[in-house]
Amino acid sequence: MHFITRVLLGLGIFLSLIIIICVAKQQTKSEGLSGTIGGARGGSFRGTREDEFLARVTRVTGVAWFVTYLLLAFSWTHLG
C-alpha cells in the first residue's frame, strides 16, 4: 500500500469520527410525538449559533469525506 493511500485512509477515518461527533451533538428539529403532545422545548426560530455551526461543520466535513474516499478509491485502483 502506498503512502498516499495510507494517508487518505487515515484522513477518511478521522473525518468519519468528526461527522459522527457532529451529528450526535446536534439538536433534533422536531421532538416527535412526545413533543407534539407534551409541548416542544423552547427555542429560537433559526436555532442557536452552536446548532448552525455544527450544521456547517457537518456539511463541510461531509464533502471532505466524500472527496477523500473518491481519491482513496482512485489511488487504490490505480496506484496499488
pLDDT in tens, the chain (80 residues): 789 999 999 999 999 999 999 999 887 766 555 554 555 555 555 568 888 999 999 999 999 999 999 999 999 888 76
Within 13 Å, how many C-alpha atoms sit on residue 34's CB side?
Answer: 3
Is 74 inside any structural domain?
yes
Residue type for position 57: V
42, part of any domain: no
Rounded Cα distance between 18 and 1, Å, is: 25
Is position 31 within any domain? Answer: no
Rounded distance, CA 75 to CA 11, Å? 14
**How many domains are there within the chain?**
1
> Closest Cα partner for 8 from 56, 55, 78?
78
Whether 41 maps to a domain, the answer reads no
Residue 32, in any domain of the structure: no
* Residues of the domain holding 53: 3-26+47-78
